[in-house]
Amino acid sequence: MGDALANLQRGVRLLLESVPGVILDGVGGLYETAPVDCAPGTPAFVNSVVGISAPASPQRVHACLIEIETLLGRPKIRAKNEPRTLDLDLLFAGDLVSDDPVLTIPHPRLHERGFVLWPLADFQPDLVLPGQTLSVKALADGLGEDASSIKKLAGPEWVSTTNSLFPGS
């Protein structure tokens, strides 16, 4: 909801400011995709993935992500999969596998979601996620989703650009 590009840029900036010692390792492209498991009439979502390295625990990074979402207007109580200003997920943390009720790593549907796999493949195409045997690129290619439902809006430069990527916004 709102200015998707600005919300994503603010989210990344706040992440880099909130986690001591964090380093931005990679940035995927910006993709507009049809909403998944949402109410009819839900507008398209804008998605990307960023890779970071941090001396903080995955739990601490996850807590920072929740704080950032709240700061940028995401309500704590909301209907499942409804539009929001920002949705930040910790997708994986190296080879760590955890079924903690607060933070499941890797994200349980990561390997099934094109809106995550395509931007991740932009900078880590050969990565094999924990529990998978295929690379991120092979997983994305194997989804068989209609390419016309996915629109690449920008490459990794979106992190530092202005709203010029979204004409008329």
Q: What is the pLDDT of residues 104-148, one digit of tens each?
A: 999 988 898 888 999 999 999 999 999 999 999 999 988 876 556
What is the total count of domains within the chain? 1
In a domain, 160, yes or no: no
CA distance 122 to 40: 30
In a domain, 162, yes or no: no
State the residue range of the domain holding 132: 4-154
List the CATH number of the domain containing 95. Answer: 3.30.70.560
DSSP 76: S
pLDDT at 33: 85
In a domain, 164, yes or no: no
Extended beta strands in the chain, E state: 23-27, 30-33, 45-47, 50-53, 98-99, 104-105, 150-154
In a domain, 148, yes or no: yes
By mean pLDDT, which of 11-20, 68-77, 127-136 is the weakest?
A: 68-77
User: What is the share, in percent, of the chain residues with pLDDT greater than 90?
Assistant: 37
141 versus 41: the higher-pLDDT residue is: 141
pLDDT at 83: 59
CA distance 80 to 83: 9
In a domain, 65, yes or no: yes
> Which of these, 165, 155, 158, 166, lies nearest to 29 by C-alpha position?
155
User: What's the average model confidence in pLDDT over 34-55?
Assistant: 85
DSSP 83: -
In a domain, 51, yes or no: yes
